[in-house]
Amino acid sequence: MQKIEAIIKPFKLDEVKAALAGIGIQGMTVSEVKGFGRQKGQTEIYRGSEYTVDFLPKIKLEIVVEDKLVDQAVEVIQQTAHTGKIGDGKIFISPITKAMRIRTKETGEAAV
Amino acid sequence: MNTMKRFIEKIKDHGERKYFLALLGGKLLGVGLSFLVVWAVCTYFGNSSPKAHADEAPAKMEGMKMEAAPAAPAATPGATAAPAAPAPDVPNPPYVNPMNTMWVLIAAFLVFFMQAGFMFLEAGFARTRETVNVLLEGVVDTCLCGILFWAFGFAWMFGHGNGFIGWGDGNGHTWYFLHNLPATYESTGIAIYAYVLFQFAFADCASTITSGAMLGRTGFWGDLFYSFGVSGFLYPIFGHWAWGPDGWLNTIKPAAFHDFAGSTVVHTIGGMIALAGAIVLGPRLGRKFKRDGGGAMPGHNMTIAAVGTIILWFGWYGFNPGSTLSIMDTAGCARVAINTTFAACAGALTAMFYVFPRSKKWDCGMTMNGLLAGLVAITCPCYWVSPFGSLCIGAIAGVVVVWGTDLLEYLRIDDPCGAWPVHGLNGIWGTISLGLFATGEYGMPTPTGADNSAGSVVTGLFYGGGTAQLVAQVIGNMAIGVGVLIAGFALMYIVKATGTLRVSKEGEQEGLDIHEHGGEAYPETVTSKLN
């Protein structure tokens, strides 16, 4: 069981979601986040004067999947979230030690 | 002090001094040229204030005071039952009637405030990322419309000319730039500028309606170009057909076309151009339609959308009752106001109950559009129908708006606010409904009361009037509706040919606010800082 965290461009969410559903991933958690990487911030305009926004809006998508699906899921996310421009985001993978479904108390892979 | 010292130091230097003098000379030349331009403009335009009858006005006013006073009570009780015949010794205007002018001014302010309602409604139905765009479009539309109405819009719409376009007073004087205007408009007794303001507010509505169907993907240059076309050309020219002093729809036989406050002139025109715009633009990126397994993109703020709807309703009390142009027709004004109210009530409730069985949910967005649909529909017949008639008209409007929304969904046309179902389709329904529901008791408002004489009453099919009025309504509405749809397509394709109509794919994904205006409607202050 591993957790995949992907930071992606907001307008890519629908595409990524559909692609993940296509390989049989049934649930995900999505949050609206702000951050910056190499892209830095951007310049916006308010009443004629420029100001810099240091943090840009992104979507953080978290899914926990069984080990055999991890590579496929990561590839799908990379392909669908890709625009080739700076600011496409990142994917992080980390192991999950334990999981439980609250309703049924199932644990392990049955819970995800 | 320091600046002064530096200046004196610099001026001692020869090179600097030459530079300074050259600069000063240039500025003076610029100022001189500006004065020259001002002088040229003043000379050319001269004194454009209403002057044609300014000298006669006070004298006639004196006479009027005597006659107007007894005329008013006579009109009040008798307006619905007996025709208050215009007193024979009332001097032919122009005299400026203070009561009616005040009434029209108040109505103009109310109609103008509808712009706030439109902006609220459209912003609420838009997504967060295009809110600034919608708001700025509403503001700029208004300003652009004002300039165009001054330059030629008013002359084309309300000037004398031929049946299709007007330009002046019919005696060789043009009304461009509001030149050569008489003291009052025609025989209304309304001070001319009050009338211009009132009609400007109407024109403004037409172009804002259009923007409702086009939001979320139109570039701002495109917005400016089509607004210029709608408020400068399409609205005044097609409006002249029905509302111009010699518009050809006023002369059709056997019954003249009637559009009291603009179901056809304002709403069908605005709604049809909106439809053309939505089709030419294509749907927003990511908009899936019902038969493709998707649905409407939800608006971002129902609070302001709902408040906007109620502001529009409030503004409609200027739109409809104000169109009497005469508070002396007290019964008429009151009837129009109550009819406006009942149609809105009926429209909202029918739309709400009509969509309830689909989802077993009480739908806020559709109820609001049903309310507006009722208002749009009653706009044309409001003077000639009974309160019961207005309830029926509003109720049907509430169903029509749902059908229209379904039809657009089926045809895969993306209309984010429902401008076509509300304004286009119900403009048509409202116009035709006059031919069905007109009671045959009411004629026309006049500056001194109501003219309910046998020759001027309007009777619909359901009240034994036959099909004459119905036919006139269909002809008038179809002529303007189809004409403006074709012209709307032409306009939108012309703007599209300039490449400014739709923003780039990247711009749309980023959101129009950042892409076109460089900032968001709701910037987070925590994660950004002002320089």
Number of domains in chain B: 1
- Among the listed residues B95, B111, B139, B320, the one whose alpha carbon sits nearest the alpha carbon of residue B197: B111
- A85 → chain B, closest CA residue: B506
The band of B525, judged by pLDDT with boundaries at 50, 70 and 90, is low
Amino acid at A18: A
How many angstroms separate the CA atoms of B397 and B347, rounded?
6
On the question of pLDDT at B531 being above 70, the answer is: no
- A55 → chain B, closest CA residue: B527
How many angstroms separate the CA atoms of B124 and B480, rounded?
30
Residues B520-524 have a mean pLDDT of 82
- A43 → chain B, closest CA residue: B518
Task: Kindly determine whether residue B520 and residue A44, on different chains, have CB atoms separated by under 8 Å.
Answer: yes
The span from the first CA to the last CA of chain B, in angstroms, equals 28
Of the candidates B514, B524, B531, the beta carbon closest to that of A52 is on: B531
In Å, what is the CA distance from A88 to each residue of A9, B92, B518? 6, 74, 21
Task: Kindly determine whether residue A54 and residue B529, on different chains, have CB atoms separated by under 8 Å.
Answer: yes
Residue for token digits 């129902």?
Answer: B302
Amino acid at B344: A
Range of the domain at A106: 2-111
- B524 → chain A, closest CA residue: A53
Please answer whether residues B339 and B390 qualify as being in contact, where contact means their C-beta atoms are separated by less than 8 angstroms.
yes
Residue B503: inside a domain: yes
Helix (H, G, I), strand (E, B) or coil at A84: coil
Chain A residues in contact with B510 by the CB 8 A cut-off are: 11
The tens place of each residue's pLDDT in chain A, 112 residues long, gives: 999 999 999 989 989 999 999 999 989 999 999 888 887 777 888 888 888 888 888 999 999 999 999 999 999 999 999 999 888 999 999 999 999 999 999 998 888 8
Residue A63 maps to which CATH number?
3.30.70.120
In Å, what is the CA distance from A10 to each residue of A15, A73, A88, B129, B510? 10, 18, 10, 12, 9
How far away is chain B from the Cα of A34, in angstroms, using its nearest Cα?
A: 8
| Per-residue model confidence (pLDDT) at position A45 | 83
How many angstroms separate the CA atoms of B76 and B411, rounded?
51
In Å, what is the CA distance from B362 to each residue of A49, B255, B344, B350, B416? 45, 43, 17, 12, 20
Residue B76: inside a domain: no
Residues B372-396 have a mean pLDDT of 97
How many angstroms separate the CA atoms of B371 and B316, rounded?
12
On the question of pLDDT at B81 being above 90, the answer is: no
Task: Kindly determine whether residue B527 and residue A14, on different chains, have CB atoms separated by under 8 Å.
Answer: no
Mean pLDDT of chain B, nearest integer: 89
How many angstroms separate the CA atoms of A79 and A71, rounded?
12
SS3 track for B208-240: HHHHHHHCCCECHHHHHHHHHHHHHHHHHHHHH
Task: Kindly determine whether residue A53 and residue B518, on different chains, have CB atoms separated by under 8 Å.
Answer: no
Residues B509-526 have a mean pLDDT of 84
- B507 → chain A, closest CA residue: A11
Residue B49: inside a domain: no
pLDDT 10s digits, B330-348: 999 999 999 999 999 999 9
pLDDT 10s digits, B473-511: 999 999 999 999 999 999 999 999 999 999 999 899 889
Please answer whether residues B258 and B249 qualify as being in contact, where contact means their C-beta atoms are separated by less than 8 angstroms.
no
How many angstroms separate the CA atoms of B107 and B320, rounded?
9
| Per-residue model confidence (pLDDT) at position B171 | 87
Of the candidates B527, B529, B531, the beta carbon closest to that of A49 is on: B531
The band of B527, judged by pLDDT with boundaries at 50, 70 and 90, is low
**Cβ of residue B286 closer than 8 Å to a chain A Cβ:** yes
Of the candidates B510, B514, B531, the beta carbon closest to that of A50 is on: B531
Chain A residues in contact with B527 by the CB 8 A cut-off are: 34, 53-55
- Among the listed residues A87, A96, A77, A58, the one whose alpha carbon sits nearest the alpha carbon of residue A18: A77
**What count of CB pairs under 8 Å joins A to B?**
41
Chain B residues in contact with A53 by the CB 8 A cut-off are: 523, 527-528
pLDDT 10s digits, A54-75: 888 899 999 999 999 999 999 9
Task: Kindly determine whether residue B523 and residue A46, on different chains, have CB atoms separated by under 8 Å.
Answer: yes
**Cβ of residue A92 closer than 8 Å to a chain B Cβ:** no
Residues in B 484-513 with any Cβ partner in A closer than 8 A: 509-510
Task: Kindly determine whether residue B286 and residue A14, on different chains, have CB atoms separated by under 8 Å.
Answer: yes
Chain A residues in contact with B528 by the CB 8 A cut-off are: 41, 44, 51-55
How many angstroms separate the CA atoms of B88 and B86, rounded?
6
DSSP codes of every residue in B423-481: IIIHHHHHHHHHHHH-BSS--EEETTEEE--TTT--B-GGGT-TTHHHHHHHHHHHHHH
Chain B residues in contact with A43 by the CB 8 A cut-off are: 518
Task: Kindly determine whether residue A54 and residue B527, on different chains, have CB atoms separated by under 8 Å.
Answer: yes
Range of the domain at B316: 98-517
The band of B86, judged by pLDDT with boundaries at 50, 70 and 90, is low
Residue B22: inside a domain: no
How many angstroms separate the CA atoms of B513 and B521, rounded?
7
Please answer whether residues B213 and B416 qualify as being in contact, where contact means their C-beta atoms are separated by less than 8 angstroms.
yes
Residues in A 10-69 with any Cβ partner in B closer than 8 A: 11, 14, 34, 41-46, 49-55
Of the candidates A46, A50, A55, the beta carbon closest to that of B527 is on: A55
How far away is chain A from the Cα of B528, in angstroms, using its nearest Cα?
A: 4
Task: Kindly determine whether residue A54 and residue B520, on different chains, have CB atoms separated by under 8 Å.
Answer: no
How far away is chain A from the Cα of B220, in angstroms, using its nearest Cα?
A: 16
The span from the first CA to the last CA of chain A, in angstroms, equals 9
Find which of A8, A11, A15, A45 to mutate to test the B interface (most B CBs within 10 Å of its CB).
A11
The band of B308, judged by pLDDT with boundaries at 50, 70 and 90, is very high
Helix (H, G, I), strand (E, B) or coil at B508: helix
Peptide bond between residue B254 and the one before it cis (omega within 30 degrees of 0): yes
pLDDT 10s digits, B170-212: 888 899 999 889 989 988 889 999 999 999 999 999 989 999 9
| Per-residue model confidence (pLDDT) at position B332 | 95
Helix (H) or strand (E) holding B160: strand B160-161
How many angstroms separate the CA atoms of B204 and B363, rounded?
29
Chain A residues in contact with B531 by the CB 8 A cut-off are: 49-52
Task: Kindly determine whether residue A52 and residue B528, on different chains, have CB atoms separated by under 8 Å.
Answer: yes
**Cβ of residue B523 closer than 8 Å to a chain A Cβ:** yes
Q: How many CB atoms neighbour CB A92 within 10 A?
A: 12
Task: Kindly determine whether residue B527 and residue A34, on different chains, have CB atoms separated by under 8 Å.
Answer: yes
Helix (H, G, I), strand (E, B) or coil at A106: coil
Number of domains in chain A: 1
How many angstroms separate the CA atoms of B349 and B388, rounded?
15
On the question of pLDDT at B88 being above 80, the answer is: no
Residue B109 maps to which CATH number?
1.10.3430.10
Residues B54-76 have a mean pLDDT of 44
pLDDT 10s digits, B223-232: 999 999 999 9
Helix (H, G, I), strand (E, B) or coil at B255: coil
Predicted model pTM:
0.84
Residue B69: inside a domain: no
